[in-house]
Amino acid sequence: MQFRPQIEVVLFCIRIHLYCTMSNPHILIVTLPVQGHINPTLQLAKLLIRAGAHVTFFPSASAGSRMSKSPNLDGLEFATFSDGYDHGLKQGDDVEHFVSQLERLGSQALIELIMAGANEGRPFACLLYGIQFPWVAEVAQSLHSPCLTAVIFPPF
């Protein structure tokens, strides 16, 4: 795996933070809805589970529907949100509108997911997100949730 060194660095930083704060942490991963980001973040999720975390993977519905062979692991659950393009971005679609919808609808869904986790007694210890989603950090800050940018470099 070409992306393993970057994942190992992120995993190391998360382990230090999480072991200092709690056992069996619940981590939320928000990823860009494209294959080159989904696969590396799923690998990161597997590593976090091996480290003792419970992970919720939070892609858009269009990405979730393309993940027909998602891993079935103890400690991994999936939650999806509608970005307004549930059947994917089609050629000729307005990319700026897509990005705007992704942020608007994703932010609202993220708020609801974080609040639901807290209300169910399963708060997220940390939110991991790609640098393409600065709105995730804004939502996390507004809800006083710790977050960390996971810089994922898709393999070439």
Catalytic (active site) residue 97: no
- Reduced to 3 states (helix: H, G, I; strand: E, B; else coil), residue 27 is strand
5 and 43 Cβ atoms separated by less than 8 Å: no
Can you say whether the dihedral through the CA atoms of 77, 109, 120, 13 is positive or negative? positive
Q: Which residue is listed with tokens 């933070």?
A: 17
Helical spans, DSSP H, in the chain: 4-21, 35-50, 61-66, 95-119, 134-142
Residue 5 and residue 152: Cα distance in Å, rounded? Answer: 11
Report the 3 state secondary structure along 71-113: CCCCCEEECCECCCCCCCCCCCCCHHHHHHHHHHHHHHHHHHH
The single residue of 17, 26, 37, 97 carrying the catalytic annotation is 37
Q: Which residues are catalytic?
A: 37
